[in-house]
Chain A
Amino acid sequence: MDNLSLLMGGFGSVLTPENLMYCAIGVLLGTFVGVLPGIGPAMAVALLLPVTYGLDPVAAFIMFAGIYYGGMYGGSTTAILLNTPGESASVMTALEGNLMARAGRAAQALATAAIGSFIAGTIGTLLVVFFAPALASVAVEIGAPSYFALMVLAMVSVTSVLGGSPLRGFIALFIGLTIGLVGLDLNTGQPRLSFDQPLLADRIDVVVVAVGIFALGEALWVAAHLRRSPVRVIPVGRPWMSRADLKRSWGPWLRGTAYGFPFGAVPAGGAEIPTFMSYITEKRIAARKGQDEFGRGAIEGVAGPEAANNASAAGTFVPLLALGLPVTATSAVMLAAFQGYGIEPGPSLMTDQPDLVWALLASLLIGNVLLLVLNLPLAPVWAKLLRIPRPQLYAGILFFATLGAYATNLQAFDLFLLLLLGLLGLLMRRFALPVLPLILGVILGPLMELKLREAMAISGGEVDALWSEPLAVVIYAIVLIAIVAPLVLRRIRPAPAAVAVEEGLAEDATPDATGDLEEEEKVR
């Protein structure tokens, strides 16, 4: 427990009233900038980094930690309240989170996100403290074949969110996969589906797709029905989480952390896959328990992905500190920041500059605590934002969504793209096509292609390279079990209970588009 005493030493150098004040300012600034649509954590940290210049290293660290956690949490806030995720990692949070918000449970969604982030961030940072060097050397051994196997597993899982009509689900999935193809082919440098439009060459940003389909499509759909439906004010919920909410959130928080951390710790993991896997897992568990609220705003669907997102973010410190490898946009910004503070990440970091590293890790833990302390009371305040009457609320969402899409690249073309995608979102709602498979197609398709082609390029086209890594074989075994087990179970044990679960799965998998439809029809 040598590391523990070193960490305590870190706390000793960090914990002063003055430093806590810097941290609190960092958390608030981070949250407010992160809340702006189109600004993900990477952008928030980059924008606010100059604020920490001129402070002594320890004060700069702790303020930075505050900005970092604040920025991440701010991104989830917009995803939940306005259905406009600021980065691909919070797309899953937006799904159930926004449904909760529209059912008057925004405060609970924000609270479970904040506590989940806290728990995942704390566990993740502690794992970094104790295992970073050991994990890093294992992590680089994982290559393209294993990542590809993971993508196959994720794709197979997509089938469980296709919705009541598999045909509609597959249509949506393939539209998503097609959108994911647009742009420059990384291996040959040739443009695909870009219609000679250079602005389409850099692929269509997942965030633009999510904001277009979720926020814009929804706003247009509501606008199209505004005159025909009575004014429906979002009910005012309780301001705090109930005991039942807490009970339902515990499991997802811990499972989300377990998904997120390993993905963050490996160099090409990212947060998309673990947030998605966490969402699927929680949905299945809820269905099995027979209390599936998914599609109507399930708190598990916010707690799990949010925890996975934050645990993955904490995990990225493993390659960052131990190898000097930035694996996400946010960690690339952080690497630059650390170098500015005089930390040179790499294998010798832990032995060369232990004081700075332990002060940094202690700062991250303190930043996490302050985030919770400052943001939990704010949750009901944010939630009141939704009490704005519908026309004004949706006008505001349109405004912020447009602003966000423009602010990322300052290209008018992105606005055109956003409107086009919004129209697609409206049409999908009109024809009851589920939107979730589309978004997953956009996220998973390119990742899957990238890893397959990397594996193929390395092996020189030898297909058996795909199962050349032990981890890949294990994952394929899991895929096989996931496909075969339900079929076998149904055949050997056609007990009514098992059938009921299967049907329950299919029906409860009602995607939110059809959910919206039903909701709107009820209103009518």
Chain B
Amino acid sequence: MRPLTRHGTSRGAARAVAVVAALSATLLLATGCGVTRGPQSSDLTMLIPNSPGGGYDQTGRAAIAVMENDDITGGSFEVTNVIGAGGSVAMTRLMNAEGDDRTMMTAGLGVVGSLYSFGAPYKLDDATPLAQLIEDQEGVLVPPDSPFETIEDLVEAWQADPGSIVVGGGSSPGGPDHLFPMQLASAVDIDARNVRYVPYDGGGPLTSALLGSKIDVGFSGVGEFTGQLASGELRLLAVSGEERLKGEGISQAPTLTESGIDLVFTNWRGVLAPPGISDERRAELIGMLEEMHETPEWRQALEDNGWIDEFKTGDEFTAFLQEQDERVATTLEELDLL
């Protein structure tokens, strides 16, 4: 600030600069620039593979809020959003933190696809899988004036002429909204390569394409469309999970298996630790997540967000990851995207 006063610049300007500088400093602190901590501390770090407000962020932060509130870990969490390449950047950071037993990362189906798209040399189960936390169902959505009243109508028309149906989703190839229609097509004997998939940048643009009848059918997470479904702006033909969902405009939609299609597809999220941590520490971290899962606060968080309680840990989760990885790889291979 010295040069300012020396040149006799008005105090107003100097003050403005000071305010800006102070605010920037606060901002940097608020976004978290690393906190020094002693070796005895029980503080942990949670890596989130997308931006604040996204799906992984919501799940990760909800879990942290419960653990901090009930003092499950005996310390606090530092949350770092590592944005980039659909989670590959965060995954790289986790793999590089080998042996760091105070770091966790939120991951999910989208990260599996991204690791393939970017040719990453590792898979999710190369880290230390801790637990799956939740599950989200995908839905099959059509505009209200669509000729398709049921999922059977859609499948029939689709089988008759795969090229006549334009499907849209809120994620790029490899993401959940892309994998779901491709796996559905395969399940009803349609060559996935004949599926005409149009990627949209998230639920907003997908909704407007559906409302304007630019595409015939949309595939996306049901949770994002509760408002449009309740008001009848969109119609839900089927849900992808094992059980029907609750809610206005939602509960009447059957599951795929109910409709005679042998496919259960869910978008899931869970927690990983870096590779190379001790078995004792792994068991300890899993124990914390188990304790978190039992709390009423977590029940509430599940209900508030419309998440399905699908909790599995340890080896069961590892096996699940391997199976998921295989399914994603098969789908992408069928589409020549690998």
Contact = CB atoms under 8 A, between A and B. Distances in A.
Contacts of A184: 85-86, 117, 172
B261 interface: no
Contacts of B199: 186-187
15 contacts: A39-B27, A140-B208, A140-B211, A140-B212, A141-B212, A186-B201, A188-B337, A189-B113, A189-B173, A202-B85, A325-B204, A347-B233, A407-B31, A411-B84, A457-B197
Contacts of A201: 84-86, 88, 118
A47 interface: yes
Contact of B196 (A385, A407, A460): A460
Given A198-B89, A410-B31, 10 more contacts: A143-B209, A199-B84, A346-B228, A348-B231, A384-B13, A389-B7, A392-B4, A400-B20, A458-B214, A458-B215
A252 to B, nearest CB: 27
Contact-size category for B: 35 or more
B214 A143 contact: yes
Contacts of A324: 227-228
A345 B204 CA distance: 13
B174 interface: yes
Contact of A381 (B16, B52, B119): B16
A190 B117 contact: yes
Contact of B23 (A36, A199, A325, A384): A36
Nearest to A326: B204
A458 B10 contact: no
A375 B89 CA distance: 41
A345 B227 contact: yes
Interface string B168-200: 000011110010000000000000000011110
A326 B170 CA distance: 14
Interface of B: 3-4, 7, 9-10, 12-13, 16-17, 19-20, 23-24, 27-28, 30-31, 33, 52-53, 80-81, 83-86, 88-89, 92, 113, 117-120, 163, 166, 172-175, 178, 196-199, 201, 204-205, 207-209, 211-212, 214-215, 227-228, 230-231, 233, 337
A36 B196 CA distance: 44
A267 interface: yes
Nearest to B164: A460
Nearest to B13: A384
Interface in A17-73: 32-33, 35-36, 39, 46-47
B29 to A, nearest CB: 11
**A-B residue pairs, 3 tightest by C-beta:** A189-B173, A267-B208, A140-B212
Interface string A100-139: 0000000000000000000000000000000000000001
Contact of B24 (A36, A188, A327, A347): A36
Given A184-B172, A458-B166, A388 B9 contact: yes
A16 interface: no
Interface string A131-161: 0000000011111100000000000000000
Contacts of A407: 24, 27-28, 31
A326 B198 CA distance: 19
A139 B209 CA distance: 11
Interface string A387-415: 11100100010001001000101110000
A240 interface: no
A382 B16 contact: yes
Contacts of A190: 117, 337
A396 B31 CA distance: 22
A373 interface: no
Contact of A346 (B20, B86, B233): B233
A336 interface: yes
Contacts of A189: 113, 117, 172-175, 178, 337
B85 A198 contact: yes
Contact of B84 (A35, A198, A268, A326): A198
Interface residues of A, number: 60
A38 to B, nearest CB: 9
Nearest to B199: A186
Interface string A369-382: 00000000000011
A36 B25 CA distance: 11
B27 A142 contact: no
A251 to B, nearest CB: 32
Contacts of B16: 381-382, 385
A411 B33 CA distance: 11
Given A323-B233, A348-B231, A457 B19 contact: no
A403 B24 contact: yes
Nearest to B233: A347
A159 B227 CA distance: 44
B85 A384 contact: no
A191 interface: yes
A260 interface: no
Contacts of A196: 119
A332 interface: yes
B23 A32 contact: yes
Which of B31, B33, B118, B175 has the most A CB atoms < 10 Å from its CB?
A: B118
A344 interface: yes
Contacts of B117: 184, 189-191
B4 to A, nearest CB: 6
A460 B233 CA distance: 26
Contacts of A46: 52-53
Interface string A336-356: 100000001111100000000
B93 to A, nearest CB: 10
B182 to A, nearest CB: 12
A253 B117 CA distance: 46
Contact of B3 (A32, A188, A323, A388): A388
B142 to A, nearest CB: 15
Nearest to B90: A198
A236 to B, nearest CB: 11
A293 interface: no
B217 to A, nearest CB: 12
Q: Which of A142, A186, A198, A344 is most buried by chain B, counting CB atoms within 10 A of its CB?
A: A198
A454 interface: yes
A327 B118 contact: no
A324 to B, nearest CB: 5
A191 to B, nearest CB: 6
B228 A336 contact: no
Contacts of B337: 188-190
A99 to B, nearest CB: 21
Nearest to B116: A189
